[in-house]
Amino acid sequence: MIAIGASWGGLNAVSTLLDGLSADVDPPIVLAQHRGPGSSRGTLEALLQMHVERPVSAPDDKEPIEPRHVYVAPADYHLLVEHGHFSLSVEARVQFARPSIDVLFESVAAVYAERAIGIVLTGANADGALGLQAIKRAGGVTVVQEPGSAAQRSMPDAALAAARPDAVLPVEEISRFLNELCVGAPR
């Protein structure tokens, strides 16, 4: 599973990442993008769908996890993965965020362990740092957007400090990194 966390500036960064992704990348992709609770339903999914062939959707509670699918955490819910399916939570915001990147990543680390790939992109807070650390500890692959190339560098900086990631790359190269890592290898 490829888990992506993004905040301020994330729409551009995630779009670029998806643009560069090979159609042969099999693992499911799950994204926690910070957004306001009132953000209109389906907009983020529709915008991202313009960049990939594979389906993009905000999963329902207990929806099965399918390969070659992009899942976006729904606004005002925490998204978690369990074995084979998603679950949702409306528990309190974590570091002011719901969805929280840390909450998603920690569940991904627990379920996918060494088959997890965690990616922290642009953002003006520290969400994702602890989650990426959890993925690292579980034996997964960790990637952080090169802070100088990010629209907001606080979140990549925090993730760098917390997780000592396997790769620090500009977004375009993260796509290439994933293409090499994942093609033909379902994770």
Partner 1 sequence: MEGEGVETVSALQALTLHDPHVMERLLLDLSVNVTAMFRDPTFFLAFRQQVIPLLRTYPFSRIWVAGCSTGEEVYSLAIVLAEEGLSERTRIYATDVNEAVLDRARLGVFPLGKMQEYTHNYIRAGGTSAFSTYYVARYDGAQFARSLANGVVFARHNLVSDAAFNEFNVITCRNVMIYFDKPLQDRVHRLFYESLAVFGVLALGQKETIGRSPHEAAFEELAVDERLYRKIR
Q: State the catalytic residues.
A: 7, 34, 127
Q: How distant, in Å, are the alpha carbons of 52, 132, 172 from that of 20? A: 9, 22, 6
Using the rule CB under 8 A, which residue among 15, 39, 49, 87 binds partner 1?
87
Neighbours of 33 (CB within 10 A): 22
Q: Which CB sits closer to partner 1, 36 or 184?
A: 36
Using the rule CB under 8 A, which residue among 36, 90, 96, 148 binds partner 1?
90
DSSP string, 46-111: HHHHTT-SS-EE-PPTTPBP-SS-EEEPPTTSEEEE-SSBEEEE-PPPBTTBSS-HHHHHHHHHHH
Q: Which CB sits closer to partner 1, 92 or 96?
A: 92
By CB under 8 A, residue 57 contacts partner 1: no
Residue 68 C-beta: closest distance to partner 1, Å: 21
Which residue bears the tokens 């529709």?
A: 46
Nearest CA to 132 out of 89, 169, 153, 161 is that of: 161
Rounded CA-CA distance 143/168 in Å is 6
By CB under 8 A, residue 156 contacts partner 1: no
By CB under 8 A, residue 74 contacts partner 1: yes
By CB under 8 A, residue 91 contacts partner 1: yes
By CB under 8 A, residue 114 contacts partner 1: no
Using the rule CB under 8 A, which residue among 59, 118, 123, 165 binds partner 1?
59
Q: CA-based diameter of the chain, in Å?
A: 39
By CB under 8 A, residue 125 contacts partner 1: no
Rounded CA-CA distance 114/134 in Å is 11
Of 8-16, 81-89, 99-107, 113-121: span binding partner 1 (CB under 8 A): 81-89
Are residues 103 and 130 in contact, defined by beta-carbon separation less than 8 angstroms? no
Residue count, binding to partner 1 (CB under 8 A): 16
Q: Which CB sits closer to partner 1, 19 or 60?
A: 60
Under the rule (CB under 8 A), what is the footprint of partner 1? 38, 41, 58-62, 74, 76-77, 87-92
